[in-house]
Structure 1
Amino acid sequence: MANGEAPVIRPGSETGTKIGAWISRFVPGIVVAITVALASKYLESVTPVPALMTALIIGLLLSGVIGGGDATAGLDFSGKHLLALGVALLGARLTLDDVTALGWKTAAVVVFSMAATLVTSWLAARILGLSRNTAILAGAGTAICGASAIIATSAALPKKESGDVDTALVIIAVVVISAASMLLYPLIATHLGLSQIEAGVVLGGSIHNVPQAVGAGYSLSEVAGNSATLTKLFRVALLGPLVIGVALLFGGANKGAGTKIGLPWFIIVFTALLLLGSFVKIPGNITSALNHLSSWLLLIAIAAIGLRTPIAAARTAGPRILVLVVINSIVLVTILMVAALLHIF
C-alpha cells in the first residue's frame, strides 16, 4: 500500500466475507424469482394470459414447496427492493404531456370517477371485512392502472403480515376483471350508441390494465383507440400523486411516535424521471431500455410475492377481494357511461 499498490480483496478479508454472506443469503431466492419470471414471460408468448398473472399463479402453486427455507431472504428482497426500483423506473414512461392531453371537462370527469372509486373501495372493504391495505390496493388498481398501480401502491404502504397476500390476490382479481371488461365494455358502448370519442374515453377510463384498455379502444375504431389511449395515459400519469398521498397518509402507520415520515426514495426517482422526460429530449433507446428494465423488475418482484403467499390465505380472502374489485369496477364504469350519455365530454 505504501508503494501505491491497489488494495486486494482477499477471500478471507472482511469485505470478501460480507459479499459471500450476501450472495449465499439472497441469491438463491432471487434466482428462483427470476426463473419464475422467465417462465411466465415465455408462457405469455404462447398463451393469452399476461405474464404478471402467470407469474403470480406459478408463485402461488409453488409457494408451499419453495417459498421458504434458503429462498426466503432473496424472495423478500425481490418483493421489496426490486419492486421499489421497478416502480421508480415507471416514471420514464410518462411526461407532463400525458396529463394535459385531455380537455378539462374530460379530465374532470375521469378524476371524479377515480376519486369515487377510491372512496367506494374504502367503504366496501369495511363492509366485506377486508383490511385497510386491501381497500387501498383494490382502489388504486381499479382507479388508476391495474397491476402496476397495485404494485406501486403496495410499496408505499406499511408492511403487515398479510401485505404480500393482499397484493397478490388484488392483482389476480384486477387482471381477471380487466380481461372481462375488455370483452364486455366495447359491446355496451356500442349498444348505448356512444360516439367513437365517447366510447374511447369510457374504455380508457374504466378498463384497468393499459394493454387491455388500448386494445378495447382500437377494437372499435382508430378514433376510439386514440381516445382510449389518451384517457388511459392520463390515468396512469396520476399514479405518482396517488402513491405520494398514500405514502404520506399511511406509510408511517407502523412507525413509532416522533418518527419523521418522508416520501419513499422510489417516488422521488419516479417524479424526477417524469419531469426529466417532460423537459429534456431523452434518446428513445434509453427510454426503451428503462421501460424494459422496469417491466422485468416488476415481473420478478411479483413472482417473489406469489412465492411468499400462502395458498391457504388465497382461498380464504380471495372471494371477498374479487367482490370488492367488481364493486369498484361497476362504480367506475357507471360514472363514465352516464357522463358519456349526457355528452359531458
Structure 2
Amino acid sequence: MAQLITTIKTLFPGAVIAVITGMAALFLSEHYGAPAMLFALLLGIAMSFLHQETTCKAGIEFTASHILRIGVALLGFRIAFDDLLSLGWQTALLLIVAIFSTILVGIGLSKAMGLTKRFGALTGGSVAICGASAAMAISAVMPNSEHKERDTLLTIIGVTSLSTIAMVAYPIIANLFGLSEYDTSIFLGGTIHDVAQVVGAGYSVSEQTGDLSTLVKLVRVSFLMPVVMIMLLVINAKCKTDKSVSESPGFPPFLLAFIAFMVLNSVIDLPTIVTEGAATFSRFALIISIAAIGMKSNLSQLVGVGVKPIILMVLQTVWIAGLILIALLCM
C-alpha cells in the first residue's frame, strides 16, 4: 500500500499537467474549429521544459506510454464486424488495397529518399489508417531508437495538418469530379487521415454522406490492429536475424485488449452509453497522451530533419487519394 501511494505521488504532478493541457486543447478546438490533437501537441511542445529533470517527468512519461495504450485499446469499442459486412466486398477490397499499398509505397519512397524504412512504415500506416492514433499505436510496438520520439512527433504533426487540409479540399475535389453521394462518402472516409476530419468533411456535404463516410473511416480503423500485428512480427523476425537491431518489443497487451473490445462490441449489443463512453474516454486519453508526447519532445531535433519527411507524407497522401478516386471513377 505504501508503495502504491508513493507511485501515485510520483506520477501525479506530470499526469495532472498532461490532463490540464488536454482539457485546454479541447477548449481551443471547440472554440476555434482546429483539431484537438494538433492543439494538444503544440501546447505540449510549448511546455516541454516541464519534462527536463523536474517532478513532472515521471508522470509525463507514464501518460505518454501507458495512457496512450489505454486510449488505443478502447478504440476497439468503436468497431463491429457488421460494419465490414455492410460496405460490401468491393469497397472492403478497395480499402485493403489502399491501406497496404500506401504502407508499401511509404516504405519504398522512404528508402529512395534516404530515410529509414521504419519512418516509411510509421508515416505510411498513419496516412493509410487513422492518422495520429495509428502513429502512436505503431510507434508503441517499434523498438526504441535514437530518433523514435522525434519521428513520432513529426508524423503526428504532418498527418494532422494534412488531414485538416483534406477536410476542406476533398469535398471540393469530389464535387469537381462529379462523384455521387455514395462515392463521395467512400472517397472521404477512405482517404482523410483522422476520424474527426472525416466527420467534418462528410457532414459538410450532407447528413447521409457524413454517416456513411464515418462508417467507412471506422472500417479503416479496424485495420489498425492487423497492420500493427504484421509490423510487430516483421520487427521481431528482423531482431532475431539482425544483431544490430535493438531488442524487439514483446506482444503488447493493448493489442489483445483492442481485439477483445472489438469482438465484444460485435457479438453483444452493448448499451450506447457504454460504447459512447468508451469512445469519449479513448479520445481524451489519446489527446492527453499526445500532449505528453509533445512535452517529451526536443524541438532542436526537429530543426535538422529537412523537408524530406514532409514530402514523403504528402506523396503518401496523394497516393491513397489518387488510388481511391481513380477506382471510384472506373467502377
How does the TM-score come out when normalised to structure 1? 0.88
Question: Closer, same or farther in 2 for the Cα pair 1:154/1:318, shift >3 Å?
Answer: farther
Question: Closer, same or farther in 2 for the Cα pair 1:57/1:252, shift >3 Å?
Answer: farther
State the Cα distance separating 1:223 from its structure 2 match. 4.1
Identical columns (%): 35
Query: Does residue 1:155 correspond to 2:140, yes or no?
Result: yes
Corresponding position of 2:39: 54
1:248·1:263 contact (CA, 8 Å) conserved in 2? no
2:131·2:193 contact (CA, 8 Å) conserved in 1? yes
Query: Does residue 1:276 correspond to 2:264, yes or no?
Result: yes
Whole-Å separation in 1 of the counterparts to 2:109 and 2:289: 28
Of 147, 161, 169 in structure 2, the residue corresponding to residue 176 of structure 1 is: 161
Q: Which amino acid in structure 2 is aligned with residue 296 of structure 1?
A: F
Question: Closer, same or farther in 2 for the Cα pair 1:186/1:260, shift >3 Å?
Answer: closer
Corresponding position of 2:181: 196
Corresponding position of 1:301: 289
Whole-Å separation in 2 of the counterparts to 1:235 and 1:260: 27
2:110·2:119 contact (CA, 8 Å) conserved in 1? yes
What SS does the corresponding residue of 1:146 show, helix, strand or coil? helix
Number of aligned residue pairs: 326
Q: Deviations over 1:253-281 (max 9, x none)?
A: 66898x89753100101100100111112
- Which of 1 and 2 has greater Rg? 1
Q: Which amino acid in structure 1 is aligned with residue 320 of structure 2?
A: L
Whole-Å separation in 1 of the counterparts to 2:262 and 2:306: 35
Question: Closer, same or farther in 2 for the Cα pair 1:133/1:45, shift >3 Å?
Answer: same
Of 192, 197, 200 in structure 2, the residue corresponding to residue 207 of structure 1 is: 192
Whole-Å separation in 1 of the counterparts to 2:141 and 2:277: 25
Question: Closer, same or farther in 2 for the Cα pair 1:172/1:243, shift >3 Å?
Answer: same
Of 108, 111, 115 in structure 1, the residue corresponding to residue 93 of structure 2 is: 108
Question: Closer, same or farther in 2 for the Cα pair 1:252/1:25, shift >3 Å?
Answer: farther
Query: Does residue 1:135 correspond to 2:120, yes or no?
Result: yes
CA-based RMSD of the aligned residues comes to 2.1
State the Cα distance separating 1:55 from its structure 2 match. 1.0
Corresponding position of 1:66: 50
Question: Closer, same or farther in 2 for the Cα pair 1:30/1:199, shift >3 Å?
Answer: same
Of 130, 137, 152 in structure 2, the residue corresponding to residue 167 of structure 1 is: 152
Query: Does residue 1:235 correspond to 2:220, yes or no?
Result: yes
Q: How does 1:20-35 map to 2 (within 5 A)?
A: 20-35=5-20
307-316 or 19-28, which moves further after superposition? Answer: 19-28
Whole-Å separation in 1 of the counterparts to 2:231 and 2:129: 13
243-252 or 198-207, which moves further after superposition? Answer: 243-252
Query: Does residue 1:319 correspond to 2:307, yes or no?
Result: yes
Q: Deviations over 1:112-142 (max 9, x none)?
A: 1111111111012123333333212211111
Q: How does 1:281-296 map to 2 (within 5 A)?
A: 281-296=269-284
Whole-Å separation in 1 of the counterparts to 2:260 and 2:4: 31
Contiguous gaps of at least 5 residues in structure 2: none
Query: Does residue 1:332 correspond to 2:323, yes or no?
Result: no
Contiguous gaps of at least 5 residues in structure 1: 1-14
Corresponding position of 2:253: 265
- Which segments of structure 1 move beyond 4 Å, counting only runs of 4 or more? 251-257, 259-262
2:35·2:196 contact (CA, 8 Å) conserved in 1? no
